[in-house]
Structure 1
Amino acid sequence: MSTKRNILKRVGALALALVLLGAAAMVVGAAGQDAKAEKSATLPQKAAPKTGVTVYSNEKASVDASNLSEGYLMVKYTGGKNVRIKVQITKSGGVTYTYDLNNAGNVETFPLTEGDGTYTVKVFENTSGTKYAQAFSTSVTMTLRNDFLPFLYPNQYVNYTMDSQTVAVGAQLCTNKTDDLAKVTAVFDWVVDNFTYDYDKAATVQSGYLPVVDTVLAAKKGICFDYAAVMTAMLRSQNIPCKLVVGYAGETYHAWINVYVDGVGWIDKAIYFDGQNWTLMDPTFTSTGNRSQSIMQYVTDSTNYTQKYAY
């Protein structure tokens, strides 16, 4: 993700160029193919967070694994240095996720989104320039209580509490909505119709940027990461599993959402329902293009999107 700043500068130009594109539309049906273990047959209720039950630490960092079965860890830097701190989380044989630990001395929450298995967690201190030294390392083995759980809780990338205004607006939008399809559609339509794309922010955003969902909500303006984080917070707070996905739209770094709807399955590349079929949809490009025909054709073509990380 080290090239994020430079790539994001091209998002504004790409969003404008997309209006000229005429990629073939593709309609996809319900993505219910993720028939997983029995533990995921029903949507779970979230559990109150625990702290201090299972902790691995040294003098420089601690990893609180008390909520491992819920799909997340809490990491704290205790080395006392005023330097940049990074956290790396790697599933054995899988993808490495690298984060900035932005609040030295405070706990931050990181999801384990690659499923059951053994994860290595490393904490690094900046020594000079772009050089880092390992401060702590530990391994944990996760067995999820339910496979949806990593996509139901707040974390560093989707940071909210039940007192957040974003959660309150999401609850208002979902009032009297009796099924998940209606809730997903209400949240999607509201964000797409009320938010505008922030080209200045896209051109100047720094590496390590994290959305503050209530700030984005108040401004009703943001980059793709902001759109995705706000929608994800609203839907997770309604107990709808939602993945904030980071990857590429064409050659441009981008963010979108995948949503799980009970009885339907995972709906990839975000959400759109035309009254009969679910289609691949990206809320940022849809809003930017005012739902123009060329934009709708672009975002419904799965070949335009490559997933890299899910949070």
Structure 2
Amino acid sequence: MKKRYFSIIFILVFLFAFTGQAIGASLYTISVLDNNLVKVESLKEDKSMRIMVEKESEKYYYSLNKTVEIIPLQLGKGTYTIKILQNTSGDKYKVVQKQDINVTNNNLSEVYLASTQPVYWDDKEKVIELAQSLTKGKNTDMEKIESIYKYIVNNIKYDYNKIKGLSNDYVPEIDKVLDDKSGICYDYAALFAGMLRSLGIPTKLVKGYKSDLKEYHAWNQVLLDGNWVVIDTTYDAALKKDNVKISMIKDAIEYNNVREY
């Protein structure tokens, strides 16, 4: 009996030394920030992992590319279930950790100002500085929005080759989009959202469908004078290239929102 006991102890010590993790201890720490965001911290990077945020019938999936990921709680007050998923094969995943959180005082304006996946902006100095430079002397939100909009539409080109080799865990790096002066619709929308959020203007990145496009698309909704207005920088950049007259604010009926970040 004593021999078996020491064997078990040896195995536990060996596993701890090998993995750096006590048996039964969690690899991921899930915490809530100001009732608006979830922080997921991990001991190591592992791109086979995903984060799923579930509330009632809604499910959102996020990449787990960094040791700290900030995820928006954009589905309002109530109980959220956060699941850490591990890829087993192909598109199949298993739940390795689960935690319920109760959100009692959710502020959506704050959610859409935060630096969260997929709109990480607070450590992008070039992006922040450009947004400030473009809006210097502008007094109203409309003036600031128009300045950022014009810059992106006039300077960012659509990259038709990028989408071909894109992984399903892709998250825009808006400073790289700015440096490359090119991207796909996801990049356009993330850059626009990041620049406006850095100026204190609540902005959503929206995914879904536009009535005259077959492909899955991304655009923005911006809080202007108390109303969410639709702005599509990717679409307008293409129209401008063809010298078509454009209007910055779109008719919302032309857009079908599937996901909002």
> TM-score normalised to the size of structure 1?
0.70
Q: Which has the higher strand share?
A: 2
Which residue, 233, 243, 246 being the options, matches 1:283? 233
Q: Find the aligned partners of 1:94 and 1:155 in 2 and give their Cα distance.
A: 22
Question: Is contact 1:197-1:223 (8 Å) kept?
Answer: yes
Extract unaligned runs of 5+ from structure 2. Answer: 1-23
Distance 1:83 1:232, change over 3 A: closer
Distance 1:83 1:178, change over 3 A: closer
Q: Find the aligned partners of 1:247 and 1:295 in 2 and give their Cα distance.
A: 24
Amino acid in structure 1 at the alignment position of 2:62: Y
Instruction: Tell me whether 1:97 sits opposite 2:47 in the alignment.
Output: no
Question: Is contact 1:245-1:255 (8 Å) kept?
Answer: yes
Question: Is contact 1:61-1:135 (8 Å) kept?
Answer: no
Distance 1:87 1:238, change over 3 A: same
User: Secondary structure of 1:193's partner?
Assistant: helix
Deviations 1:115-139 (A, max 9, x none): 1111110001223333322111111
Question: Percent identity at matched positions?
Answer: 31
Question: Is contact 1:198-1:223 (8 Å) kept?
Answer: yes
User: Secondary structure of 1:154's partner?
Assistant: coil
Q: Find the aligned partners of 2:143 and 2:127 in 1 and give their Cα distance.
A: 18
Amino acid in structure 2 at the alignment position of 1:257: N
Amino acid in structure 2 at the alignment position of 1:113: Q
1:306 alignment partner in structure 2 = 256
Which residue, 50, 56, 73 being the options, matches 2:38? 73
User: Secondary structure of 2:175's partner?
Assistant: helix
Q: Find the aligned partners of 1:126 and 1:134 in 2 and give their Cα distance.
A: 9
Q: Find the aligned partners of 2:203 and 2:193 in 1 and give their Cα distance.
A: 6
> TM-score normalised to the size of structure 2?
0.82
Distance 1:200 1:82, change over 3 A: closer
2:104 alignment partner in structure 1 = 143
User: Secondary structure of 1:88's partner?
Assistant: strand
Q: Find the aligned partners of 2:59 and 2:206 in 1 and give their Cα distance.
A: 15
- Root-mean-square deviation over aligned CA pairs: 2.3
Amino acid in structure 2 at the alignment position of 1:213: I
User: Secondary structure of 2:82's partner?
Assistant: strand
Greater C-alpha radius of gyration: 2
Instruction: Tell me whether 1:217 sits opposite 2:217 in the alignment.
Output: no
Distance 1:152 1:82, change over 3 A: closer
Q: Find the aligned partners of 1:219 and 1:72 in 2 and give their Cα distance.
A: 30
Distance 1:204 1:295, change over 3 A: farther
1:241 alignment partner in structure 2 = 202
User: Secondary structure of 1:211's partner?
Assistant: coil
Extract unaligned runs of 5+ from structure 1. Answer: 1-56, 271-281
Q: Find the aligned partners of 2:95 and 2:106 in 1 and give their Cα distance.
A: 31
The within-5 A match list for 1:14-163 is: 58-65=25-32, 67-69=33-35, 71-78=36-43, 82=46, 84-91=48-55, 93-103=56-66, 106-144=67-105, 146-163=107-124
2:3 alignment partner in structure 1 = none
Deviations 1:62-97 (A, max 9, x none): 1022x142x11111234x695600111011x24100
What's the CA shift for 1:267?
3.1
Amino acid in structure 2 at the alignment position of 1:64: S
What's the CA shift for 1:294?
6.1
Q: Find the aligned partners of 1:82 and 1:180 in 2 and give their Cα distance.
A: 40
User: Secondary structure of 1:153's partner?
Assistant: coil
Higher relative contact order (CA 8 A, sep 6+): 1
Deviations 1:116-167 (A, max 9, x none): 1111100012233333221111111113363311100111201122552111
